[in-house]
Amino acid sequence: MDEDEVHADRVAAILDAVEAEDAARVAELLEPLHAADIADLLEQIGAADRRALLALWSGEVDGEILSEIDESIREEVIESLPREVVAEAMRELDTDDVVDILEDLDLPQQGLILDALEDADRVAVQQAMGFPEESAGRLMQREVVVAPEHWTVGEAIDYLREVEHLPDQFYHVILTDPRMKPTGYVTLGRLLSSRRDVRLKDILEDSFRTIPATESEADVAYMFNQYHLISTPVVDATGRLVGVITIDDAMNVLDEEHEQDMLRLAGVGDDSSLSDGVMATARQRLPWLVVNLFTASLSAFVISRFESTIASLVTLAALMPIVASTGGIAGTQSLAVAVRALATRSLTSANAKRVVLRELVGGLLNGLALAFLLGLAGTLIFGDWKLGLVLGAAMITNQLVAAMGGVLVPLGLHKLDLDPALASGTFVTTLTDVLGYLAFLGLASLVLL
């Protein structure tokens, strides 16, 4: 039995226990699961089953589960839980996780959670919430491990053993000057492998860099990915240490951006998920369907200009979609590569000309290959070498258009400070459809009639 079948059987067993209101059985089935798996389960079942499950098992919901739940149902889950359960769950989390949860809640629920926190944690969370959305200040955790510049390894180790509270996860001991400005950091591995009399300043990591609290999350994620960081200090406008960002948070941002790019390319909204309701799903998708309706009208207009050509040679009507469809696929291929390259900053103004030229030559080669196949098929099937010639020439033209459009459209939107993933797909598809029909029918008018 594969993993999917095991999971399906477990979900069915849990839902049976919920229906029977057997709280002990529900607890028995959920107890061995990881918090992320429980969150997935809550996302996959329907709203009514979710409420019934939480009513039987609410006392076991902890902060880790709440932080793993998708934003689309997190508010609903929190509303279904007793206040004391939510309060206790929030106290278990680091400040960055609390901030991540608060961002997606209404003000009344934010107040409920803030009231449940310890005074120091509440102040830290409120300060983090004061930073711009999707900034390093929102992403960082306030729990940091700090040591003065003049300490030795032995002093740092003694401090770590004696201090009452340490973050659940940390990778560096950050060195600061008397004004609390970070000057470097030491990895735990170097700390534990060095002699006690070694000064911390002598075993600093070369990768040290700081991030302003107002830096965008996207830039933070890029920095972590580009320089292979594990964690890095966050500073305020005066350069004073205010928190730290760890690799797990940076990678979450990368994952979210990748997911958003995929959803935007498909025109289904930034936050679409399987747990969305019918109305939410329709509302997210309708605007781009309306846009596509208007862009498709351009193709229809081009076709209407060649009514007499199509009427004279009905075969053209059957062959038109081949040229347009193949161009659309080629454009989507180039577009996907370009959008991802822009997101990872591997496509820049410095290498844009080389990338465009590469796509142009690649499109030409593919166009020649497809033109040969389609032209030969058109000649053999319809017994008309001129029709094969028109098909081949139109295919080459549309492949070149697709290759160029797939790169130039997202580059142009990026230059205008617009998200290339948001509208590129519609523009490129329209471009290949319109010019594909225009090339094919225009050439047919010149050559065949």
| Rounded (10°) angle between helices 420-447 and 247-266 | 30
Nearest Cα neighbor of 321 from 440, 164, 190, 224 is 440
CA distance 51 to 197: 58
Specify the pLDDT at position 267: 58
**In this structure, what token pair is assigned to residue 418?**
């617009």
In order along its 449 residues, the chain shows pLDDT tens digits of 445 555 678 888 898 988 898 888 988 888 888 988 998 888 888 888 898 998 888 778 888 888 888 887 888 888 888 888 888 888 888 888 888 888 878 888 888 888 888 888 888 888 888 888 889 999 998 889 999 989 999 999 999 999 888 887 889 999 999 999 999 999 999 999 999 999 999 999 998 999 999 999 988 988 998 888 999 999 999 999 999 999 988 888 887 777 666 666 655 555 555 555 666 666 666 666 777 777 778 878 888 888 888 877 777 887 888 888 888 888 888 888 888 788 777 787 778 888 888 888 998 999 899 889 988 888 888 888 888 888 889 889 989 988 888 888 888 888 887 777 666 777 788 888 888 888 888 888 888 76
Taking CA atoms, 249 is separated from 68, 139, 223, 230, 303, in Å, by 12, 7, 13, 10, 51
CA distance 172 to 169: 10
Q: Which residue has the tokens 């005074």?
A: 119
- SS3 category, 306: coil
Taking CA atoms, 98 is separated from 21, 105, 126, 282, 371, in Å, by 32, 11, 10, 31, 58
Q: Are 444 and 316 in contact (CB under 8 A)?
A: yes
Nearest Cα neighbor of 162 from 145, 185, 186, 141 is 145
Specify the pLDDT at position 195: 95
* Residue 329: count of CB within 10 angstroms of its CB: 12
CA distance 113 to 107: 10
How many residues are given for the chain?
449
**In this structure, what token pair is assigned to residue 200?**
């911390």
Q: What is the DSSP string of 75-101?
A: HHHHHHS-HHHHHHHHHTS-HHHHHHH
